[in-house]
Amino acid sequence: MKNPATQSRRSRIPYVSPRIQGPAVLAFAAIIATGGAIFWKLVDGEFQRVFLRAAIRGHYAFDSAYDIVRDLLAWHLAGLFAGVFLAGSVLVLLLVAATRHGIGKAVDSLRASADGDLSTPIGAGSIGEFDRFGKKIDAARSETLTSVLEIRGEAAALSAGGISPEEFRLRWDDLKLRIREIAP
């Protein structure tokens, strides 16, 4: 049986995250549009030349215009498919490489954080969404480090002595509260 709390949390995750999927969709659309434009330009020029030549030749051994341009059209369509697919594949590989680099840096940084390194920046690169995500992780690590350093300073100050018992007790209790707030 599914946990309703988990289900309701998941249902809030949208299928479209414009900051991530948007640029990829635009890049694919640009590849398709460019491929289409090149195909149109080439085929239009070829059609003008081929039909004029066929008309002048005067030996009409064909039933339709399609018979004249069948091979030419097949080659251009194959070229369109190959060009668009190759460019699309390169884009997919670039996207995968960027994700591996950006998220890989974030994973390394979180693993280092578990060993106590909360200050070394992620350096996820300059790719928009991964850079923003890296900065978010850096901010969380930095806030945690600030909190730990403050608690450490307060613990050192309290352990140094010279504080009245009443004040010591108050600050002791406050310190415990602040420790409880770490990673709630």
Binding to another protein (CB under 8 A) within 26-85 occurs at: 28-29, 32-33, 36-37, 39-40, 43-44, 47-48, 51-52, 54-55, 58, 60, 62-66, 69, 73, 77, 80-81, 84-85
With vertex at residue 117, the alpha carbon angle to CA 130 and CA 105, rounded to the nearest 5 degrees, is 25
Shortest reach from residue 123's CB to another protein, in Å: 16
Q: Count Cβ neighbours within 10 Å for each residue of 132-160 and write b for 16 or more, e otherwise.
A: ebbeebbeebeeeeebeeebeebeeebee
Selected from 1, 15, 71, 166, the binder of another protein by CB under 8 A is 15
Nearer to another protein, 126 or 145 (CB): 145
Shortest reach from residue 8's CB to another protein, in Å: 13
The answer to the question of residue 168 lying near another protein (CB under 8 A) is: yes
Report how far residue 85's alpha carbon sits from residue 163's, in angstroms, rounded to the nearest whole number: 74
Selected from 75, 119, 167, 170, the binder of another protein by CB under 8 A is 119
Residue by residue, DSSP assigns 113-163 as HHTT--SS-----S-HHHHHHHHHHHHHHHHHHHHHHHHHHHHHHHHT---
Among residue numbers 142 through 161, which ones bind another protein (CB under 8 A)? 143-145, 148-149, 151-152, 155-156, 158-159, 161
